[in-house]
Chains A and B, each alone.
Chain A
Amino acid sequence: MADNPALSANLRRLSQELSEFADKSPPCDSRRAANQALAGEVASKMLLCNARGNTGFRSAITEQMILSRAEQLRRNPALKRPSDDISDEAVLGTQDCVFLFCGPPRYANPFLLVFKPEVEMEIRAEEPVASPFDSGGLRTKMRPMDTDAQRREFLERHELPVPEYREFLASTLATLFDSPWNYLDGIPPDPLGPLDLTDGDARRWTFEVRFRTQLALDLHLSAVLVPVNFATAQAKVLASDGTDKVARQIVGWAKAGCLETYVEGDGSGGTDAMLLKGVEVISARLGRRP
């Protein structure tokens, strides 16, 4: 079990609340037994994703680490912007965290780093924590909290130990989702469950794992998703500059079989291409049958 008593207490309380909710909600109660085995398997194997923009992706390759915003600023104070003091992360006290979704990407950035669950088992000075929602959405998108103090308090009450949170994820997948695969496919839980959150998008019910300060890229990286024309552009860079660090890394990932590319497109005519590819890659690694 986890060493942190507060996190363990949160896990027990949330598990109890979910169980009581399911007992009183006929669809949850009836699907629980049928979903249990698959939910346990999906929850235990679910991969973790970090979506990055162009700058953040290049920076992660250069540093060979994903750095928290606070760590970026410690290393280079010139990066500081006025918005850093009022960002969601600053207000919630999570500015020194590296954020990963447990499951597919729920953010707009075009580059995706996909980690195996084993990354959670790495020994580190400060343990990561999980929450059953994306903490960044608490401030502006999810209700019903009125003040930042209430939001911080809400977050603290929902922080869970890692990797033990996966037990709660399994219960959530078994009871709140018609099929555990719905979580992966972005189909919302029905009913929403006992968590006192409304509004927002898929980030309201997508689990998050927060690592303290930094996360090394060579730790259990399973896949890297980039747009096709970014990948081909890196190949072109290498034709004139064989030392380019980003391009060399892309080659390294290609040779290791973990580079995945997608056609960026425009969002018309179906599911967003990056999201679709992210789900496809995770599904394949979870052994989901087409």
Chain B
Amino acid sequence: MSTEGRTSGELRVVGLMGTLSTENTPRLLRAVFEIKANPGNFILPPYRWDDQGRLTGGLVESVAKFDALVTEGDATKLPSPIDCQPAHLLWADDRSDVRYAPASEVRSYLLEKMRSFVKRAQAALEAGDPHQALTLAQAALCADERSINALVIASKAHQRLANEAGLAILRSVARSHHPTLDLDGLLRTTSIPPAAPGAAPALPPERYAALFDVADRPKDKELARVAPVFSPAGQEALQVA
């Protein structure tokens, strides 16, 4: 059965790939769809939405296969399906509540969350709490995996913790996604204002501003009010029969 060219009207959202925890949210989610005309036939990634708003390329799997993924902890079933809508995204907020909303609003909201987490991570690092800085930088990276600021702050936190192994992983990430970013150069030549007197000098203000451009954006109150379609508190409802 081919999945070529299915419109959103032919689909409903029934689940998501992976599982949710406050450790890996907020973030966009990879939805699992059910074909309305063929109940019990699910479409899993890798798929893509083409320019005409049609879902192409996914894998069609049975209920049993999807349930096996849920049992293995590789997918999560929503308690009730959602009608698929054009240009909408499934995502989880920082409490791991699952929501479904217009893509532009979701992206704007996640960008704002990323900026907010980066700002707080930076403050935690400045306050001498690299562990908290790491937690917040990780949340920022969940909201926007491409965030250079979050990557740099996380690297600084690992450096502060003398976690060379963690830094090795972040260097790999930087090489993959920001090939022009000289992460080690930045770590050598810049520093977060020290927590203790006598530590390294603070980053020059002009570079600091460029690195950590975290100006606040107005909150998208409307999106925040969208009711979640699934809250982790209701996880027991997701057990596979």
A238's partner among B57, B59, B163, B177 (CB-CB below 8 A) is B163
* Segment at the interface with B among A4-12, A115-123, A167-175, A266-274: A266-274
* Distance in angstroms between the alpha carbons of A233 and B170 in the assembled complex: 10
Residues of A within 8 A of B62 (CB): 140
A248 in the interface (beta carbon within 8 A): yes
Known: A53-B74, A54-B18, A261-B176. A251 touches B168 (CB 8 A): yes
* Segment at the interface with A among B44-52, B180-188, B206-214, B215-223: B44-52
Interface of B (DSSP majority class) = mixed
The residue on A at minimum CB distance from B134 is A236
* Segment at the interface with A among B77-85, B135-143, B196-204, B231-239: B135-143
A141 in the interface (beta carbon within 8 A): yes
A76 in the interface (beta carbon within 8 A): no
A62 to chain B, nearest CB (A): 15
Residues of B within 8 A of A268 (CB): 48-49, 87, 89, 103
The residue on A at minimum CB distance from B17 is A108
A251 engages B59 (CB within 8 Å): no
* Distance in angstroms between the alpha carbons of A240 and B3 in the assembled complex: 44
Q: Mark A11-46, 1 if CB is under 8 A from B, else 0.
A: 000000000000000000000000000000000000
A201 engages B64 (CB within 8 Å): no
A199 engages B169 (CB within 8 Å): no
Residues of A within 8 A of B103 (CB): 268
A239's partner among B23, B49, B166, B171 (CB-CB below 8 A) is B166
Residues of A within 8 A of B177 (CB): 228, 261, 263
The residue on B at minimum CB distance from A281 is B176
Residues of A within 8 A of B151 (CB): 232
* Segment at the interface with B among A124-132, A146-154, A252-260: A252-260
A186 engages B165 (CB within 8 Å): no
A263's partner among B49, B74, B145, B168 (CB-CB below 8 A) is B145
Known: A53-B72, A81-B71, A272-B46. A232 touches B169 (CB 8 A): yes
A106 in the interface (beta carbon within 8 A): yes
B120 in the interface (beta carbon within 8 A): no
Known: A238-B163, A248-B165. A259 touches B172 (CB 8 A): yes
A194 to chain B, nearest CB (A): 20
Residues of B within 8 A of A103 (CB): none
B233 to chain A, nearest CB (A): 22
The residue on A at minimum CB distance from B55 is A267
B59 engages A201 (CB within 8 Å): yes
Q: Among residues 194 to 250 in chain A, which have CB atoms less than 8 Å away from a CB atom of chain B?
A: 199-203, 227-229, 231-236, 238-240, 242, 247-248, 250
* Distance in angstroms between the alpha carbons of A96 and B71 in the assembled complex: 20
The residue on A at minimum CB distance from B89 is A266
B167 engages A235 (CB within 8 Å): yes
Residues of A within 8 A of B29 (CB): 266
The residue on A at minimum CB distance from B19 is A54
B163's partner among A81, A235, A250 (CB-CB below 8 A) is A235
B124 in the interface (beta carbon within 8 A): no
Known: A54-B18, A201-B3, A269-B49. A228 touches B74 (CB 8 A): no
Chain A positions within 8 Å of B, measured between CB atoms, are: 53-56, 81, 83, 86-87, 105-110, 140-141, 186, 199-203, 227-229, 231-236, 238-240, 242, 247-248, 250-251, 254-255, 259-272, 274-275
20 extra A-B contacts, CB within 8 A, seeds A108-B44, A235-B163: A54-B19, A54-B74, A55-B73, A56-B72, A108-B17, A141-B60, A199-B1, A201-B2, A231-B172, A232-B141, A235-B158, A238-B163, A240-B131, A261-B176, A263-B177, A264-B27, A265-B30, A266-B31, A266-B91, A275-B46
